[in-house]
Structure 1
Amino acid sequence: MIRVLVVDDEELVRSGLRMILEASDDLSVVAEARDGAEAVAAAGRHRPDVVLMDVRMPGTDGLAAAAAITALPDAPKVVMLTTFDLDEYVHAALRAGAVGFLLKDTPPRELAGAVRTVAAGHAMLSPQVTRRLISAFARRGPTRAQAARRRLAGLTAREAAVVRAVGDGLSNAEIGRRLAMREATVKAHVSRALAKLSLTNRVQAAILVHEAQE
């Protein structure tokens, strides 16, 4: 059973999300929170696997809460929910360690699938906004691009090839086929590369790759 914490300042939205998620036998909403401060407390108390959290809330917003929650020991996966497909809060939340970004009008089946995806350790970005989100990070000018290239230069050739494939949005299995590697070997390279780059997830690695290409 995948345990989910739902965070939104609107009770109607929280109720809707609960109904969608609990329609699946493998998903359970273990708690709800109305703002970021409640979310951090609930994450520590209930130890969910996944947090679905609104970006914009009164008081402690989703950005601050995401940073606090992803810093917890054995932190849950954080997925940001927003009505805006390009939101600077979401950009910053991804940098803070959130692994998902979905629009609130995501169809119910896709929402449940996204929860399963991040619970399994994968990133999940709404298909409608992935390209624009990555492009927004890449349009940060030559200084950021140069810094990204310097960071990537510390990787071995094989690690760099794997990270570039991550930047193309490939899964471990797809990377293995592209680079003629076992999937377990790909996973090991990804883990080492993330550690060397001081990143916490594949979304951040993909962003770094696209920044370097600017």
Structure 2
Amino acid sequence: MTLLERKESDGLTSAPDAPSTASTTIRIAIADAHRLLVEGLVAILGQPGTGIDVVATAPDWDGLLGHPNHPAEVVVLDHDLDDALTGPARVRELVAAGAHVVVLGRRPDPAAIHAVLRAGALGFVPKTDASETLLQSIRSAAAGELWLDPSLQAMLDAYDVSGDPGLGDRERRALLLYASGRTLRDVAEAMGTTEETVKSYIKRARRKYRAIGIDLGTRALLRRHAAREGWIPGD
């Protein structure tokens, strides 16, 4: 079963209806904290002949939501914006606002990709991929169609979805931040909550991983798993 077939059969969040074909120009927004990356994307995507008009850029979530051109037809969204929300939570909010979403990620983590696709994203593009991959994904998303690079599709099709521990958005976010080396206090501040609540998120996440046979009971085991899954850079 392909990922698209799995998405349909599993009852994943539907994307909004395909946009009107009255205009051939795709209006997009880019949300990413890395200024050089955004400037490069604007230069590439805005070239004559691409059929794309970059109408908004933002370094963070609040900047995107507060932009006068929000929601754009397609939002190119950094998966790892540094705030209290997770990638799937952002995707759901953008879809509810009427945008199509293409997610950019540092590394192709199968569990994270499945999570954003379930939330309604129509594409995922690793930041190591070529610009043509992003262009194809944007054009497909604007038509209301899911598209993934064939090599990424093959990787996801080989991934055992049953091995997903089923973390909630806040549990995943707390675990990722803690795995990156932050203290409990730092994680609590980033998520806008208390240290005790963060401890609870991490404890529940570890218990869910233990239920599928993965021990993340120590900081060392957690960091090793995080590096292997691409959540953080490897040593």
Give the corresponding residue for 1:53.
77
Structure 2 residue corresponding to 1:109, chosen from 132, 135, 157: 132
- Residue 111 of structure 1 aligns to a residue whose secondary structure is helix
Give the corresponding residue for 2:92.
67
Equivalent pairs: percent with the same residue?
Answer: 30
Structure 1 residues 32, 11: closer, same or farther in 2, change over 3 A?
Answer: same
Structure 1 residue corresponding to 2:161, chosen from 138, 160, 165: 138
**What is the number of residues matched between the two proteins?**
139
Deviation at 1:69, TM superposition (A): 0.7
Structure 1 residues 61, 19: closer, same or farther in 2, change over 3 A?
Answer: farther
- Runs (5+) with no aligned partner, structure 2: 1-24, 166-235
Deviation at 1:78, TM superposition (A): 0.2
Spell out, residue by residue over 1:53-83, the C-alpha distance to the aligned partner (whole angstroms, 9 max, x if none). 11112114433211211112xx111001112
Matched, 1:4 2:28: yes
Conserved 8 A contact 1:86-1:132: no
1:1-214 aligned within 5 A: 1-25=25-49, 26-42=51-67, 45-59=69-83, 60-72=85-97, 75-136=98-159, 138-140=161-163
Spell out, residue by residue over 1:78-131, the C-alpha distance to the aligned partner (whole angstroms, 9 max, x if none). 001112112533322111111101111222233222211211121111322212
- RMSD value, Cα: 2.3
If the length of structure 1 is used for normalisation, what is the TM-score?
A: 0.58
Distance 1:22 1:54 in 2: 19
Distance 2:66 2:119 in 1: 18
Structure 1 residues 103, 2: closer, same or farther in 2, change over 3 A?
Answer: same
Structure 1 residues 41, 35: closer, same or farther in 2, change over 3 A?
Answer: same
Spell out, residue by residue over 1:132-164, the C-alpha distance to the aligned partner (whole angstroms, 9 max, x if none). 2233353348xx9xxxxxxxxxxxxxxxxxxxx
- Residue 19 of structure 1 aligns to a residue whose secondary structure is helix
If the length of structure 2 is used for normalisation, what is the TM-score?
A: 0.53
- Runs (5+) with no aligned partner, structure 1: 145-214
